[in-house]
Structure 1
Amino acid sequence: MDSQSVSLVRASFKAVAAQEDGPDRLARSFYSILFAHHPDLRDLFPAVMLSQRDRLVKAIAYVVDRLDEPDKLLPFLRQLGTDHRKYGVRDVHYVAVGDSLVAALRKFAANELWTDAVDEAWTDVLDLIATTMKEGANGVSGASVWAGTVIEHERVLRNAAIIRLQLDVPIAYTAGQYMSVQIPQRPKMWRFMSPANPANDAGEIEFHIRSIAGGWVSQAMVGSTDIGDRWLFGSPLGELGLPKDPTRDMLMVASGTGIAPLRAQLMEMAQRPQNPRVHLFVCGHHPCDIYDIDVLSDIAAMNPWLTITPVSEVDDNPWWFHGSQDRTSPAMANRITGQIGKVVAALGSWADRDVQIVGPPPMVQTTKFRMMAAGTPTANFRHDPLF
């Protein structure tokens, strides 16, 4: 797209989003128009649409922000199209979605803002999205959905669990990628999650889940999952993984269950004869939030290329935690108390490192900005879309 069209799309979207309750009103209007004109599509979505509406607006914002970065945007859209096969999406559905989104944007944009040029620019953007997603969907064959059976449910904290499954058929994902997951307790409510182990021929897969306040799916996963439950999985997504240059040193920063995709990469690297230096910072609010210390310690003890530094914002654990107050390991550095972004930025610019950051969006953004201020080049950073 030319720069003028990109500017028109960004300006009109920001104008709509800046209105009072703009993002939510836009999403509600979009789905109302879509379902009114295409009622057959309603069955593809969950009964409760609150999270779905939030994710829609964040996804649109992500695309709009990267319209002038095709090397990042187009692979993302192709993967998204591959994943959407699980819904039974057909080519005609992309037209319905595009028309409904333009109608919703037009409804809330000021009359003087929504010009013929803006309308044409949005049409071009939505054509690009639809074409690229259809390329992803039509360019692969085989399964669009995988299934697995829960074989272990380990409660590692009051609000966190490790869940292991046996897949019916192994999924060929790259260590560091994520995938959409559906559980029987929340039908049609797909959530993105990262496996904590590399793909293997045995079809064994592990997920780390933290229960989020108000999170319908995460609370059900942590609190209601039973042995024998059947989970469904979409196609692998994401660009996290080992650097293209196998000799480049790495910096990894993980908060809470964000350790999962990074641990999967470390486990894969541990199977290789040679690796670059890797420094992993694993953090949480309390010391006990660094829950996977045994596995991480074992990996570090056997692999001298790996340095692990635990970080917590406070020194004390919550009153309800009855484990060791501050677990240590000779294979890991002593725990540091502080805010993770400040801690990492204070230890250097990391200008020579491939940097991966995984955790809640505010933590990712704050850590990234602090490191950039300390001299880390923007091109060094990698993280998945923050939605």
Structure 2
Amino acid sequence: MDSRTISLVRTTFKAVVAEDDGPERLARSFYSILFTDYPGIRELFPAAMDAQRDRLLKAIAYVVDRLEEPDKLMPFLAQLGRDHRKYGTTDGHYIAVGNSLIKALRTFSGTEMWNDEVDAAWAEAIGVITETMLGAAKAETSPPVWSGRVVEHQEVLRNLAVIRLQMDQPMSYVAGQYVSVQIPARPRMWRYLSPATPANDRGEIEFHVRAISGGWVSPSIVGHTQIGETWLIGAPLGGLGVPRDPDRAMVMVGCGTGIAPLRAQLMFMATRRANPKVHLFIAGHHPCDLYELESLWQLSITNPWLTITAITESEDNPWWYMGADLGIPPGIELRVGQIGKIVAGYGAWPDRDIQIVGSAPVVQTTKFRMMAAGTPTENIRHDPLF
């Protein structure tokens, strides 16, 4: 796409979503058009569409913002195409989605903004997206979906559980990536989770899940997962992973269950002969949220390249926590405060490869504070925030 095409696509999309209710109106209009014009496609989607609508708009925004960065956009679209195989998508589904999106955008743009040139620009953009996703999907030889049987369910906190599964066959993924999962109690409601262990040839996989208040899926996982039930698992996604350069030191920042993909990388690194220095910041709102601190400390004892700093926003545990105080293992520094401010307070980290994992607000705040402290933007990595 040339600069004119990119400008037209970006301008119309930004104009449509600029209003306070713009994103929600566009998403609702898109799905209304899609299900009306192509009724057979409705069965691919969950009954509750709130999360789906939000994810759609964030994905489109992510793509629109990176149309001039093919080195970042194309791998993302290729991964998305491989992931969409789990839905049983066909060429016709991509055509339906593209036509419905253009129709919804045209409806909200109005005649003053939408013309033949804009229409052609969006058609070209959607053509590139579709071609990339379909091409990657058709070229992939791995299964479109794996199944895994729950073999352990451990409630670490009232709102947090560790789930271990035995997959039907091993999955090859890079430590640090994430996958989509579907549980039997919530059909067609796929959610993204990061394996907390590196891939292995035995097909074992572990997830850390926190129940989100008002959520459809995570509370069910934490409170109602049964041993023996079968989950479906989609293809691996994401760009996090251990740098190949063993001399490039790392900073890892993980908040809450965001520690999972970082833990997987550290476990993988512990099997190698040589590793870069790693400074891990593990954070939580309360001391009890540092549920992985003991195991990570044990890892650091035999791997001197790993330094750990623990951070909590509060010195006290919540009223409902009845467990014993976790305690801070020897050699680990404990800081109390806001994670982004504390990490940025160590300096600019100009020569470090930096990964940030956690909720979208935590990632954004930490990233902006580090950039304000002088950290080069290109040194910071995190997955798309949706």
Which residue pairs with 1:193 in the alignment? 193
Separation in structure 1 between the aligned mates of residue 124 and residue 209 of structure 2, nearest angstrom: 39
Separation in structure 1 between the aligned mates of residue 230 and residue 153 of structure 2, nearest angstrom: 13
Aligned-partner residue type, residue 57 of structure 1: L
Which residue pairs with 1:11 in the alignment? 11
Which residue pairs with 1:203 in the alignment? 203
Which residue pairs with 1:253 in the alignment? 253
Decide whether the 8 Å contact of 2:246 with 2:274 is kept in 1. no
Aligned-partner residue type, residue 384 of structure 1: D
Separation in structure 1 between the aligned mates of residue 350 and residue 3 of structure 2, nearest angstrom: 31
Separation in structure 2 between the aligned mates of residue 19 and residue 273 of structure 1, nearest angstrom: 54
Is 1:334 the counterpart of 2:333 in the alignment? yes
Q: SS in structure 1 opposite 2:161?
A: strand
Separation in structure 2 between the aligned mates of residue 292 and residue 163 of structure 1, nearest angstrom: 14
Deviations 1:115-152 (A, max 9, x none): 22221111111011100001110111241110011011
Aligned-partner residue type, residue 77 of structure 2: L
Q: What is the 5 A alignment of 1:301-312?
A: 301-312=301-312
Aligned-partner residue type, residue 180 of structure 1: S
Aligned-partner residue type, residue 116 of structure 2: D
Which residue pairs with 1:35 in the alignment? 35
Which residue pairs with 1:321 in the alignment? 321
Which residue pairs with 2:129 in the alignment? 129
Greater Cα offset, 136-145 or 181-190: 136-145
Q: SS in structure 2 opposite 1:282?
A: strand
Decide whether the 8 Å contact of 1:151 with 1:228 is kept in 2. yes
Which residue pairs with 1:264 in the alignment? 264
How far the C-alpha of 1:246 sits from its partner, in A, is: 2.7
Q: SS in structure 1 opposite 2:130?
A: helix
Separation in structure 2 between the aligned mates of residue 76 and residue 20 of structure 1, nearest angstrom: 28
Separation in structure 1 between the aligned mates of residue 349 and residue 7 of structure 2, nearest angstrom: 34
Q: What is the 5 A alignment of 1:11-160?
A: 11-160=11-160
Q: SS in structure 2 opposite 1:151?
A: strand
Aligned-partner residue type, residue 340 of structure 1: I
Separation in structure 1 between the aligned mates of residue 247 and residue 110 of structure 2, nearest angstrom: 53
Query: Judging changes above 3 Å, is the alpha-carbon distance between structure 1 residues 20 and 274 closer, same or farther for their aligned structure 2 residues?
Result: closer
Which residue pairs with 2:357 in the alignment? 358
Which residue pairs with 1:369 in the alignment? 368
Which residue pairs with 1:386 in the alignment? 385
Decide whether the 8 Å contact of 1:342 with 1:370 is kept in 2. yes
Aligned-partner residue type, residue 39 of structure 1: P
Separation in structure 2 between the aligned mates of residue 244 and residue 369 of structure 1, nearest angstrom: 26
Which residue pairs with 2:284 in the alignment? 284
CA RMSD of aligned residues (A): 1.0
Q: Structure 1: 5+ residue runs without aligned partners? A: none
Q: What is the 5 A alignment of 1:207-218?
A: 207-218=207-218
Q: SS in structure 2 opposite 1:23?
A: helix
How far the C-alpha of 1:92 sits from its partner, in A, is: 1.8
Q: Structure 2: 5+ residue runs without aligned partners? A: none
Aligned-partner residue type, residue 371 of structure 1: M
Which residue pairs with 1:231 in the alignment? 231
Report sequence identity in percent: 63
Q: SS in structure 2 opposite 1:155?
A: strand
Which runs of 4 or more aligned residues in structure 1 lie more than 6 Å from their structure 2 counterparts after TM superposition? none
Aligned-partner residue type, residue 385 of structure 1: P
How far the C-alpha of 1:326 sits from its partner, in A, is: 5.0
How far the C-alpha of 1:40 sits from its partner, in A, is: 1.0
How far the C-alpha of 1:20 sits from its partner, in A, is: 3.8
Greater Cα offset, 178-187 or 33-42: 33-42
Separation in structure 2 between the aligned mates of residue 156 and residue 348 of structure 1, nearest angstrom: 34
Separation in structure 2 between the aligned mates of residue 246 and residue 240 of structure 1, nearest angstrom: 16
Decide whether the 8 Å contact of 1:176 with 1:241 is kept in 2. yes
Separation in structure 1 between the aligned mates of residue 4 and residue 376 of structure 2, nearest angstrom: 28
Separation in structure 1 between the aligned mates of residue 333 and residue 66 of structure 2, nearest angstrom: 40
How far the C-alpha of 1:233 sits from its partner, in A, is: 0.4
How far the C-alpha of 1:244 sits from its partner, in A, is: 3.1
Deviations 1:136-193 (A, max 9, x none): 1011124111001101111111110000011110111110010110000100000111
Separation in structure 1 between the aligned mates of residue 213 and residue 310 of structure 2, nearest angstrom: 25
Decide whether the 8 Å contact of 1:316 with 1:325 is kept in 2. no
Deviations 1:105-124 (A, max 9, x none): 00011321112222111111
Greater Cα offset, 136-145 or 162-171: 136-145
Aligned-partner residue type, residue 271 of structure 2: Q
Aligned-partner residue type, residue 105 of structure 2: L
Decide whether the 8 Å contact of 2:308 with 2:333 is kept in 1. no
TM (norm. structure 1) is 0.98
How far the C-alpha of 1:321 sits from its partner, in A, is: 1.1
Separation in structure 2 between the aligned mates of residue 342 and residue 324 of structure 1, nearest angstrom: 29
Q: SS in structure 1 opposite 2:333?
A: coil
Decide whether the 8 Å contact of 1:178 with 1:194 is kept in 2. yes
